[in-house]
Amino acid sequence: MIVFDNVTFGYGPKPVLEAASLNIGADERVAILGGSGEGKTTILKLILGLIRADSGHIIVDGTNITDKPEDELSEIRRKFSIVFQEGALFDSLSVRENVAFCLREFTKMSEEEIFVKVAELLKIVGVEHAIDLMPDELSGGMHRRVAIARSLAAFEPKMFLYDEATTGLDPVNADKICRLINELCKEGTGMIIVTHKVIDAFKVARRFLFLQNGRIIFDGDRPGLLQSENPDIQEFLNEFRHEFD
């Protein structure tokens, strides 16, 4: 589904991502871990073609998107359900109108069909009761759930992408988002979650990548991550070890 072949990207002279190679299948559940500024979100943006690699090749679902022009990337982006940490809801639109936005933009559904679809999506994420609320009336957890509902509108994704899906949420709401992520993956649809919260990564992922200084220094399963002898990984894990030991 996703292949990075020796990909390098930087916003300045120092690479954010350096000579990164990876292969992620469409049904895999992957967490990308690492500290702030280590290139985790950069990987998601490269997958979607929102930024361009300085060197190397990126292949998504068999298509080399490395040099594809912007007007040819829409088809690639429709393969994903995307929830970015900062890319939440339109403040001036109600929950109903936020979720309906993509349906009006990208489908030929009638208003009646849109109403039914919006209610269905909000029920899937467990916030159907909030349909008439405005974004500033939502809790952090509800806000994130509505963002997920909106990301599901209009398209049937092949894979889910989450950027810090539980950051800023209390433990109860973070756990609810993790359970929702697992429910949405039940049909064999894969997902990639970018996070610095190890406990949440362990709840949803089966494979773990760890980034440091622009490089992937670990790629494996949970036991391998916990038993890694890399001192930087152990230092990162120690901050959260009391939560999963």
Contacts of 212 (CB under 8 A, 6+ apart): 34, 35, 38, 232
With bands split at pLDDT 50, 70 and 90, how would you rate the model's confidence at 228?
very high
3-state secondary structure of 1: coil
* pLDDT (0 to 100) of residue 133: 96
Sheet holding 215-220, edge to edge: 80-83, 159-163, 190-194, 29-33, 207-212, 215-220
pLDDT exceeds cutoff 70 at 243: no
Position of tokens 């049937």?
156
Question: Same structural domain for residues 239 and 166?
Answer: yes
Digit-coded pLDDT (tens) for 17-75? 999 999 999 999 999 999 888 899 999 999 999 999 999 999 999 999 999 999 899 88
Task: Report the pLDDT value the prediction gives residue 244, as an integer from 0 to 100.
Answer: 60
As given in the structure block, the two tokens for residue 30 are: 């992957």
Q: Which residues pair with 159 in a beta bridge?
A: 80, 190
Q: Is the pLDDT of residue 187 over 90?
A: no
Q: Tell me the one-letter amino acid at 188.
A: G
Asked if the model's pLDDT at residue 155 lies above 80, the reply is: no
Examine the domain organization and report whether 3 and 66 are in the same domain. yes
Supply the pLDDT for residue 11.
Answer: 86
Q: Is there a domain that residue 176 lies in? A: no
Whether residue 91 is found in the same domain as residue 59: no
Question: Quick one: pLDDT at residue 131?
Answer: 95
- Whole-model pTM? 0.91
- Same-domain status, 57 and 137: no
- How far is it, in rounded angstroms, from Cα 118 to Cα 12? 42
Report the C-alpha gap between 142 and 144 in whole angstroms. Answer: 5
Check whether residue 163 and residue 151 sit in a common domain: no
- Shared-domain flag, residues 8 and 98: no
On whether residue 177 sits in a domain, the answer given is no
- The answer to whether 102 and 149 are in contact (CB under 8 A) is no
Q: Would you say residue 238 has pLDDT above 80? A: yes
173-182: pLDDT as tens digits? 899 999 999 9
- Mark whether 240 and 163 lie in a shared domain: yes
Tens digit of each residue's pLDDT (9 = 90 or more) over 73-132: 988 998 998 888 765 788 999 999 999 998 998 888 999 999 999 999 999 999 999 999
Same domain? 49 vs 71: yes
93 and 141 housed in the same domain: yes
**Do residue 67 and residue 99 come from a single domain?**
no
Domain count, the chain: 2
Q: What is the CATH number of the domain that holds 215?
A: 3.40.50.300
Residue 226 resides in a domain: yes
Concatenating the DSSP letter of every residue in 13-27 gives SS-SEEEEEEEE-TT
Instruction: Say yes or no to pLDDT of 199 above 80.
Output: yes
Contact criterion met (CB below 8 Å) for 234 and 217:
no
The residue segments making up the domain with residue 147 are 87-156
29 is a domain residue: yes
180 within some domain: no
| Residue with the larger pLDDT of the pair 107 and 222 | 222
- Identify the band that residue 242 occupies on the pLDDT scale cut at 50, 70 and 90: low
Residues 6 and 61 in one domain: yes
